[in-house]
Amino acid sequence: MNALKLQILDLLKEDARRDPELLATLLGVTEAEVKKAIAELEEEHVIVKYATVVNWSKVEDDKVTALIEVQITPERGRGFEGIAERIYLFPQVKSVYLMSGAYDLLVEVEGKNLKEVASFVSDKLSPIDSVLSTKTHFILKKYKQDGIIFEEHEDDHRLIVSP
Amino acid sequence: MIIKEEEQNKSMSSYLAPAVRAIPPSGIRKFFDLAVGNKDIITLGVGEPDFSTPWHVREACVYSLERGKTKYTSNAGIPELREAIGQYLNDEFHVEYDPGNEVLVTVGGSEAIDLALRALIAPGDEILIPEPCYITYSPITAIGGGIPVGIETFAKDQFKLKAESLKAAITPRSKVLILCYPSNPTGGIMTREDWLPIAKIVEENDLIVISDEIYAELTYDQKHVSFASLPGMKDRTILVSGFSKAFAMTGWRMGYACGHPEIIAAMLKIHQYTVMCAPTMGQVAALEALTNGMEEKDRMVESYNQRRRLVVKSFREIGLECHEPQGAFYAFPSIQSTGLTSQEFATRLLMEAKVAAVPGDVFGLGGEGFLRCSYATSVAQLNEAFDRIGNFLVKLRNS
């Protein structure tokens, strides 16, 4: 990928609301170049979506999130793809990763409360034929997600004027 | 009672050394007092990075404290750090120093400048200082009994030092030339072509150069050229630098000086009697920065570069002339079109628009009519600052 696209991705990852005009100024290129690069990145599905990182613990009706280790038997010819799809299509499932090591899929599930997540595991996930075992870990607190620290603890304590 | 106190004060100041008494208080300090206590200020007045020191550097320091590395080091600094500094200067700027006797670790670049001047100045020596420049050189020269001789540089030359200006300032008493490029406050730099005629004059007039290269890593369209790397200049140059700007380590106070062994030995003599050695934990951190910090440093420099483009464009859009800074993290726009002095403009900008910037006149000759604006501040803050400055200018022009 060319350098400009990588720079644009870096800047948008920090703040997706930066418009092409600002990006063009920061990077010393024309707005048209930025727009073209972004259009291509969207087209190629490199930029998948412009989402907001939310600290749900600050929202009153808090959500519960669990990370579930899932061991599965791969299917002949399709490996893990089919079974992963069956899992990630559930809207409760926020992310799915294929892992190396002691288990196969790491599934992030979100629910209104403990019970809701637990019943998702027992009613939907475990009964799938090729699922051999599940291990559910509830998240107690999120400190950092996608490189963003949730509780910013480093204020700017610089003097107002210094030589 | 009040009268008595005044008498008391008067008599106390009479004890002060005349050279110290003669130094005017720092113009930046005056402005700082004005800004303090004002709420909702966006500051472009800060001479330091907005990044915190990279975590791996802080972590290395914490670890060393846990392991009890809290003792003095050798006067010149821990050998591994001096070694790393030598290697770094050679890799980055192609100038070779022997870590054994040509490198001295100091308490910030500031101490290195102080040591260099104290080691060199005899009473009456003239010290040549291109201005506008960092505010420290002239007072330290004066304390040492030297005579600071300012050399004005101009916006039309991108604040480069010109050979004819240097020549015109030289007298038989000229001894030292202090250089600070990339420049605080102008953001000006000197290329190799710019340097060569200066080096020739230095040679012809048998000058010693103190080259403050603290912003060396912060150049944008071209790589920094160290004055010490020019033909014949290494022995005539005391290269001063540090970790503050490149590695976002201002509060650590870690700097160094490199130069001819006899000059470094003289500086070391003063250093060992005044501070003994630079702080041990700071030295550990500096070593970590040089060993593993280059990638993070490059990332920070790229971020300054992005903001530099934004700031230059924004100044021009709101109608202030601004030469394109090639180094450091300052823009130095002209406010002459407003008819105000730098002090008036900066004071009103602070009071009426709540934006702090440093009036150019505090940086010496050629600074009047300009404003130093640091862009080491977030993009969001910069955008807000320019909205405010823009509105302030509209108000000013309509009044």
Section B24-36 average pLDDT: 80
Q: What angle do CA B360, B363, B369 make, to 5 degrees?
A: 25
CB within 8 A of A74, min separation 6: which ones? Answer: A80, A83, A104, A130
CB contact under 8 A, A160 and B50: no
Residue B119: pLDDT over 60: yes
List the single residue in A26, A160, A163 with the smallest CB-CB distance to B134: A163
CB within 8 A of B327, min separation 6: which ones? Answer: B181, B182, B183, B187, B188, B189, B215, B218, B219, B220, B224
What is the C-alpha to C-alpha distance for residues B141 and B178, in angstroms, rounded to an integer? 10
Chain A closest-CA separation from residue B371 CA (Å): 13
Whose tokens are 């090729």? That residue is: A130
Q: Which residue of B has its CA nearest to A159?
A: B46
**Of residues A158 and B207, more confidently modeled:** B207
pLDDT tens readout for residues B134-173: 999 999 999 999 999 999 999 999 999 999 999 999 999 9
Chain A closest-CA separation from residue B72 CA (Å): 29
* Identity of residue A93: V
Tell me what pLDDT residue B26 has: 81
Which of B66, B133, B78 shows the shortest CA–CA distance to B105?
A: B78
CB contact under 8 A, B36 and A26: no
What is the C-alpha to C-alpha distance for residues B355 and B159, in angstroms, rounded to an integer? 25
Residue B38: pLDDT over 90: no
Coil/strand/helix, residue B314: helix
Tell me what pLDDT residue B156 has: 95
Chain B closest-CA separation from residue A153 CA (Å): 11
Percent of chain A beyond pLDDT 70? 100
pLDDT tens readout for residues A12-36: 999 999 999 999 999 999 999 999 9
Which residues are bridge partners to A149 per DSSP?
Answer: A144
CB contact under 8 A, A162 and B47: yes
| Weakest-pLDDT range from A16-20, A60-64, A145-149, B57-61 | A60-64
On the 0-12 / 13-18 / 19+ scale of CB atoms within 10 A, B367 is: buried
Percent of chain B beyond pLDDT 70? 97
Within an 8 Å CB–CB cutoff, is residue A3 touching chain B?
no
Section B198-203 average pLDDT: 98
pLDDT tens readout for residues A106-133: 999 999 999 999 999 999 999 999 999 9
Whether omega before B148 lies within 30 degrees of 0, making that bond cis, reads no
Tell me what pLDDT residue B78 has: 98
Tell me what pLDDT residue B8 has: 59
The answer to whether B257 touches B264, Cβ cutoff 8 Å, is: yes
Within an 8 Å CB–CB cutoff, is residue A154 touching chain B?
yes
| Weakest-pLDDT range from A86-95, A148-157, B191-200 | A148-157
Residue B218: pLDDT over 70: yes
Residue B37: pLDDT over 80: no
Tell me what pLDDT residue B2 has: 55
Section B197-220 average pLDDT: 98
CB contact under 8 A, B50 and A156: yes
- CA A100 to chain CA centroid, Å, is 19
Tell me what pLDDT residue B25 has: 83
Q: What angle do CA B328, B331, B337 make, to 5 degrees?
A: 160
Cβ-based contacts of A160 with chain B (< 8 Å): 32, 35-36, 38, 41, 43, 45-46, 356
Chain B closest-CA separation from residue A67 CA (Å): 28
Cβ-based contacts of A158 with chain B (< 8 Å): 43, 46, 48, 50
pLDDT tens readout for residues B356-373: 999 999 999 999 999 999
Tell me what pLDDT residue A16 has: 95
Coil/strand/helix, residue B273: helix
| Weakest-pLDDT range from A23-32, B35-44, B255-264, B307-316 | B35-44
Within an 8 Å CB–CB cutoff, is residue A30 touching chain B?
no
**Structural element, H or E, at residue B345:** helix B342-353
Residue A138: pLDDT over 90: yes
pLDDT tens readout for residues B85-105: 999 999 999 999 999 999 999
Mean of the per-residue pLDDT values of chain A: 93
| Weakest-pLDDT range from A143-147, B155-159, B383-387 | A143-147
Confidence band of B9 (pLDDT split at 50, 70, 90): low
The answer to whether B50 touches B377, Cβ cutoff 8 Å, is: yes
Q: Which residue of A has its CA nearest to B251?
A: A158
Section B268-273 average pLDDT: 98
> Would you give the end-to-end CA distance of chain B in angstroms?
47
CB contact under 8 A, A158 and B46: yes
What is the DSSP code string of B154-206?
-GGGTTPPPHHHHHHH--TTEEEEEE-SSPTTT-----HHHHHHHHHHHHHTT
Section A36-48 average pLDDT: 97
On the 0-12 / 13-18 / 19+ scale of CB atoms within 10 A, B131 is: buried
Show which residues on chain B lie within 8 Å of chain A, measured between beta carbons: 26, 28, 31-32, 35-36, 38, 41, 43, 45-48, 50, 52, 134-136, 184, 306-307, 309-310, 313, 356, 358, 379, 383
Residue A153: pLDDT over 80: no
Tell me what pLDDT residue B31 has: 77
Coil/strand/helix, residue A113: coil
List the single residue in B184, B309, B356 with the smallest CB-CB distance to A161: B356
Global pTM reads: 0.91
Tell me what pLDDT residue A60 has: 73
Confidence band of A135 (pLDDT split at 50, 70, 90): very high
Chain B closest-CA separation from residue A154 CA (Å): 8
Cβ-based contacts of B383 with chain A (< 8 Å): 22
Cβ-based contacts of A8 with chain B (< 8 Å): none
CB contact under 8 A, B28 and A156: no
Section A73-77 average pLDDT: 90
Tell me what pLDDT residue A59 has: 86
Residue A100: pLDDT over 60: yes
Section B366-394 average pLDDT: 97
Tokens of residue B63, six digits: 């670890």
CB contact under 8 A, B309 and A161: no
Cβ-based contacts of B31 with chain A (< 8 Å): 161
Strand-pair category, A64-72 with A105-111: antiparallel
CB contact under 8 A, B136 and A158: no
Residue B10: pLDDT over 80: no
Confidence band of B33 (pLDDT split at 50, 70, 90): confident
Cβ-based contacts of A26 with chain B (< 8 Å): 306-307, 309-310, 379
CB within 8 A of B262, min separation 6: which ones? Answer: none
Tell me what pLDDT residue A83 has: 94
Tell me what pLDDT residue A162 has: 87
What is the C-alpha to C-alpha distance for residues B322 and B397, in angstroms, rounded to an integer? 18
